[in-house]
Structures are given as structure tokens and as C-alpha cells.
A and B are shown apart, each in its own frame.
Chain A
């Protein structure tokens, strides 16, 4: 009795410290990577890229399962209810795990307790873009314009990360702007090009071509430090306004997954994220990878909810 307990404790200690699990296949069954968006978006593409390398590098079959709806909560709820055997994972992001817990009064799942958050894949950074014709070059000019004729800005939708960012910028700068929600950033950019919008918030990398062509003026980037890719574009922070919002994405499974398996998945994902063609692909999508241990990633998810809570409440996006 005593020895079994002792063995169990040792085993647990071993697992806790086993940062050296080998990358490899972890299930004989095909793994379903649930995506919270319909096919075609960056999130979907990341999942498909991951699935492709899981199969080609490790022979781990993986299929992408798109379950869009209700800000990603449909997908998260589904995954939370699946068996924790490593055959169902979710490509998570801020929508179901960071924003939904504050946006909705009731959620069918607990963003922390119902999941095993396995590995962080990376984050992309949004920025603020304005019409060149407005002649604005910095945030002070933006404030002046907002207080003058007023500013209309486009976001990817109510409760989206760009809406919350827009609202956070408004309160940091002490201005009021007119928020015009769209369904995704593409139609917002089209209206921007048609000249009906003064400004919009969107991922920096997705707008690299427009920045180069001087079709937009990028006023500020919402990362803590300047981006390597856009060294000329200042952060909000260095212009004196403490706004930092990043759009994270990671891999999670249902709660109660086997620790060894979690370690294997973590190592496998880290291995794939370090492959040069994957790094290059992630760069073009504007996703920069930061390695986080499984414990750190779980803490990160829990912490992000609290950090964002006041911003989400301020944006008044309660969905009931």
C-alpha cells in the first residue's frame, strides 16, 4: 500500500518534470482539430498547416473540423464535452476563452477548468490605420481629428478583438469615435478603400501591402515593443498611451488529459512550430510564436481573461 502510493508520487513528480517528452504521434485514431471559424480564415489555415505537418512528420493523422458559431463558444462547448483521450483538440483563441467569459453572462463551459490548455502557438498584433487624405501622422493628430469633425472606424464585429481595441484606444486617448462594425476585416477594408471610413483596426501583417503602397497610414501598433517587420511604426505605449492587445492562438483539449500525452503533444507542436517552412508561413500570417510550458499557457489563459475584463466591459458588448 505504502509502496504503491510512493510509486504514484514518484510517477507524478516525474511527469511534472518531464519536459523532455519526445515529439511523436500520440493516438492511433485520427485527431480532430476543432476550429472556431469557417474554413478559409487564418485560424483555419493554421490548423490545416498543423494537421499537414503532424501527418508528414510523425504519421499522426489529423483532420480539421470547423465548428463556427456564437463567437467560438459552440466549438469550445463541443470540445469540453469530448473524451479527454487526445483525439479531440481545439485551436483556441481569444474569442471563446478570453472575451466570451466576460461577454456572456452564462457559458456552458469554464474557460479554464473545462480544458487542458496544451501549447501556445503564437500571437498576431493589431494596429490602427487611418486614411492618408486626413493628413494625420500620429496619435495627437488622431485626437484632434476625433474632437474636430469626428472619426468613424471599422472593426471586425461587435465583441471582436478590434472592437475592444478601438474602445480601449478611445478611453486611453480620452476621445469618442463612431464605431462601425463589419463581419470580418475584409469588408471593413473595402469600405475604407471606398472612402467611407476614416480609420480601421486590423492585424498589421495582413495590411503590409497597403502600408507599402501608402494607401494607409499606420498610426500605432498594439504590441509592447516595436515589431521587427514594421520597425518604423511606433507602439501606443511609446506615444504615451498604455494600450497593448495581442491576438493569441493555441492548442487545447478537454480537461483531464493524461499528463504524458499532454507533454507529447506539447513537444510535437513545439517541434513543428520550429520548422523553417512553418516559421516562414507563420511570418506571412503575422503570427509570432512564443514557447510556453503547459503550466504557463494555462496560467496565461486564466490571466488574460482578468486583464481583458475591464476592456470588454467598457466596450459594452454584453450578449446576455
Chain B
């Protein structure tokens, strides 16, 4: 009951005209900037940050949050249409979204992504409203051992994301871990594999890996495919909106994705990526349509989008209540609050209740706005694919260049994108999938950092991972998952062998 009255108060705050207006400005701006490859919520938020100096703190927060989830949504548009993931979590949307677009089902994929984002956002909002203190407590109970355990679980899920050869999927995850070690070692300050290049001291930027492996690599493939005219997307108005069966197929993935996303999202840093990966891996096991995953399954679009967006909402919990930003964008949220003299921390829920509940209520309004804004836009986006590819691909390449260049204003990043683009093309020739690599690359450095920190704090005793209850439980789940995966792979092989021997 108290939650309802709090939420009602929050709704009143969020419905104030200037909050509504800036919420709209936020989601609008976020969506459009998110569509541009490489330019994500980070650039959008830092652009509007000076504007927030003049706004009420709640209004500022509502607008920034709007930009944030608007950009996440916009990023999924780029993933579906161009196979360019704006964030590591939308790299999972690429897996099924881009094949759908190439089949001429881009409209349905965008629709699924919009609906799933909305559904996930709503689940995230409810979880945040009901469980905010509990989630904060959960995040507070997460020390290095627990983070290590949850990242391990995420990595196992990441290998399962692969739809090709399982061995190559695992190889890509591990290759991602390995690439993640390039740069200054956080624990000792020693340079690793930087070849003496100062720009590599901070490692390879995620944007570069994503733009290179996905964007540039795919572009090289598609030039020839389009030259032969075989892959030109057909515009089929019947394939614009999901059929009844497709609607029904989305419901469970959205619910499962949102549930997983809202809990895992509360863990700063790891949240969205791990959430999308776990949700996709779980869905791939549970879905009746599992054989179509990776070839354009609508469930494969709905589940990461739902997980990602619910995680986006609950990511505000650790940011606001612990002051721990999970991402650079969240660091900007803290910055915007600090300008107004509000220090994020456990007392924020009590001292600035209107701010917190106004934000929660704005998720409802903002997500509705996003839906109203984007459903009519789907037709426009799909028509974008009708532009002859000979005009499109040079434009996309330039957008990638500008996007990469905008991150650090350093042309070295473009040279690196060139290398990763070529690597991405070669990987495609040899059927190595980029998504597991990207997940490994994001999670690897965190995993190493937490592992070494845990070992330092335990004075070198590896049993801490099993003696602390949360981490022990997570490791048990991971082991069970591995056993299950091996058992099902074995039985599948047995079945295949039986099928082969019977006719002979």
C-alpha cells in the first residue's frame, strides 16, 4: 500500500508539465542519437548535461534517464537494420534481429524490439518500485567473490549464445577474455601487450571492437551480396506487423527476459550485458522454437531487448542508493545529481523520495512515449532499407568512422577499427561468431579484476568462493548449467549416432 501511495506521488511529480516535456525531449534525443553507430547514451547525456544545470534535479534526472533508455532502444534499431550494436547487450539483439531484417522482416523485428523493450521496462519498473531497498541490499552484499561468481555464470551463458559450432563459441568467449587483457593491468599498473602504444594503455575500446567486428566486418560481406542483387530487402507490407502467432511467441520471452534482467541489472557494471546473455541462453534452452535461434527467431529479438531494458531501469538502483555507477553513462547521472548538491547514497530513498519515485513513475510515462514515438517510425526505418545499398554502405562506413572518432577524438581508434573490421571479415569467412567474443571482452577485465581482488582479500585462499553463500550458490548454478549442457550435447550425439546406425 505504501508503495502504491509513493508511486502515486511519483506519478504526480512525473506528470508535471516540465517533467513530461523534458522526459519527451530525453527519449526523443536518446532514440535518435542511439541509432547513430558508435554514438550512444554517453555522448547524448554529456551533450545535455550543461542544460541540466538550469533544471530542477528531478527534471534533470527524468530527462537523463529518458536519454539513457531511449538510446538503448535506438541502439537496437541500428543492431537490427545494420548489424551494428551500440552496446554489448544489443550485440545479442543482432544475432536474430539482423537475419530477420535480411529476410525482409525488419518491421516485425523492430516491432518486437519496441514491444519487448516496453514490456521489459515495465517489469523493471515494478521490480524497482517494490524491491528497491532489497536490490540495494543485494548489491551491497556483493563483494569481489560474488561478482566473480556471477561473471562466471555470465560467461558460461555467453558461450551458449553462439548458434554455430559450440567449440567455436567457447573459443570466441575465451579470445574475448584474452583481448580484454590488453592495456595497463589494473592491479599492478604494468602495461600488457600494448606494443608501446600509449593509446592502448587503457585497452581497446569496446566501441571499436563492436564497430569493427560487427559493423565493418558485416559491411564487407554485404557489398558483394548486394552487388549480385540477391539480398536486396523486399518490402512486404504483410510482414510489417507481427502476426497473432508471433505476438503469442513473444509473451514468455518478454516475461522471462524482464525477470532475469531486472534482478541481474541491479549489479553495477555487469548488469545489462550479463542479463541479456543469460536471458538469451535460458530462452534458447526453453523455447519451443529453439532450432530457429540465430536464423531470425522473433523470440531471439524479444528476450534480450526485454532483459536489457528492464536491467536499464534497475541499474538506477545501485547508482542512486550506493553511488556506484555501473557504466560511464551512470557516472554522468551521478554527476548531474552532484551539480544539484544531491549525493547518491542509502539516504537518497528517504531524503529525496520525490526524486526517486518521480523517476520510477517517469519510466512508465517515458516508455509509453517511446512506444508512441517509435511504432509509427518503424515504417520509416524499414523504408530506409529500400535506399539502394550503393548509397547506404559508404554512408554507414562514414557514420562508423565518425562514431568511433567521437569517443576519444583520436584517429588512432579508427586505425584500430580498420584492424578489427578486417578481423571481423575473416572471422565471418571461418564461421567464428562475434557476439560471444564481445561478451567475453566486456566481462573479462571485470572477471580478472574481481578474481585478483578476491584472492588479495582472502590472503590467497581460493575456498572463499565456496564459503561465502551467495557466491557458492552462483557457482553451483554455473556447474549445474555446464553439466546440463554437456549431458544434452552427449545425448544429442548419441541420438544422431543411433539415427545413423538404424538405416544401415
Are A and B part of the same complex?
Answer: yes
Instruction: Please name all residues of chain B whose beta carbon is closer than 8 Å to the beta carbon of A206 when the two chains form the complex.
Output: 343
Kindly report which residue of chain A lies nearest to residue B343, judged by CB atoms.
A209
Instruction: Please name all residues of chain B whose beta carbon is closer than 8 Å to the beta carbon of A159 when the two chains form the complex.
Output: 189
> Is A229 in contact with chain B by the CB < 8 A criterion?
no
17 A-B residue contacts at CB 8 Å?
A40-B334, A40-B335, A48-B49, A68-B202, A70-B199, A70-B201, A74-B198, A74-B410, A158-B186, A159-B189, A180-B453, A182-B453, A187-B268, A193-B140, A194-B142, A284-B341, A317-B189
Question: Which B positions have Cβ atoms within 8 angstroms of A?
Answer: 42, 45-46, 49-50, 53, 139-144, 184-191, 198-199, 201-202, 268, 318, 322-325, 328, 331-335, 338-339, 341, 343, 345, 347, 408-410, 449, 453, 456-457, 459
> Is A186 in contact with chain B by the CB < 8 A criterion?
yes
CB-based closest 4 A-B pairs: A158-B189, A40-B331, A40-B335, A70-B201
Instruction: Please name all residues of chain B whose beta carbon is closer than 8 Å to the beta carbon of A41 when the two chains form the complex.
Output: 331, 335
Instruction: Please name all residues of chain B whose beta carbon is closer than 8 Å to the beta carbon of A68 when the two chains form the complex.
Output: 202, 408
Instruction: Please name all residues of chain A whose beta carbon is closer than 8 Å to the beta carbon of B141 when the two chains form the complex.
Output: 194
A206→B335 CA distance, assembly (Å) = 12
Instruction: Please name all residues of chain B whose beta carbon is closer than 8 Å to the beta carbon of A178 when the two chains form the complex.
Output: 456-457, 459
Instruction: Please name all residues of chain A whose beta carbon is closer than 8 Å to the beta carbon of B332 when the two chains form the complex.
Output: 39-40
Q: Which residues A139-190 have CB closer than 8 A to chain B?
A: 150, 152, 157-159, 178, 180-183, 186-187, 189-190
Instruction: Please name all residues of chain A whose beta carbon is closer than 8 Å to the beta carbon of B410 when the two chains form the complex.
Output: 67, 69, 74
> Is A256 in contact with chain B by the CB < 8 A criterion?
no
Do A319 and B408 touch (CB < 8 A)? no
Kindly report which residue of chain A lies nearest to residue B325, judged by CB atoms.
A186
A206→B332 CA distance, assembly (Å) = 16
A186→B331 CA distance, assembly (Å) = 10
Question: Which A positions have Cβ atoms within 8 angstroms of B?
Answer: 38-42, 44-45, 48-49, 51-52, 64-71, 73-74, 77-78, 103, 108, 150, 152, 157-159, 178, 180-183, 186-187, 189-191, 193-197, 206, 208-210, 213, 281, 284-285, 317-320
- Of A150, A196, A285, which contacts B144 at CB under 8 A? A196
Instruction: Please name all residues of chain B whose beta carbon is closer than 8 Å to the beta carbon of A194 when the two chains form the complex.
Output: 140-143
Kindly report which residue of chain A lies nearest to residue B205, judged by CB atoms.
A69
Kindly report which residue of chain B lies nearest to residue A196, judged by CB atoms.
B143
A181→B347 CA distance, assembly (Å) = 27
Instruction: Please name all residues of chain A whose beta carbon is closer than 8 Å to the beta carbon of B144 when the two chains form the complex.
Output: 191, 196
Most buried by B among A51, A68, A191, A285: A191
Do A152 and B328 touch (CB < 8 A)? no
Instruction: Please name all residues of chain A whose beta carbon is closer than 8 Å to the beta carbon of B199 when the two chains form the complex.
Output: 69-70, 74
Q: A40-B333, A40-B335, A196-B144 given; name 10 further pairs at CB < 8 Å.
A: A39-B332, A40-B332, A48-B53, A70-B199, A150-B459, A187-B324, A189-B324, A191-B143, A195-B143, A209-B345
A284→B331 CA distance, assembly (Å) = 17
B120 CB to nearest chain A CB (Å): 25
Do A319 and B184 touch (CB < 8 A)? yes
Do B328 and A38 touch (CB < 8 A)? yes
With contacts A52-B50, A196-B143, A209-B345 taken as known, whether A319 is within 8 angstroms of B189 at the C-beta atoms is: yes
Instruction: Please name all residues of chain B whose beta carbon is closer than 8 Å to the beta carbon of A181 when the two chains form the complex.
Output: 186-187
A297 CB to nearest chain B CB (Å): 26
A67→B202 CA distance, assembly (Å) = 12
Instruction: Please name all residues of chain B whose beta carbon is closer than 8 Å to the beta carbon of A320 when the two chains form the complex.
Output: 190-191
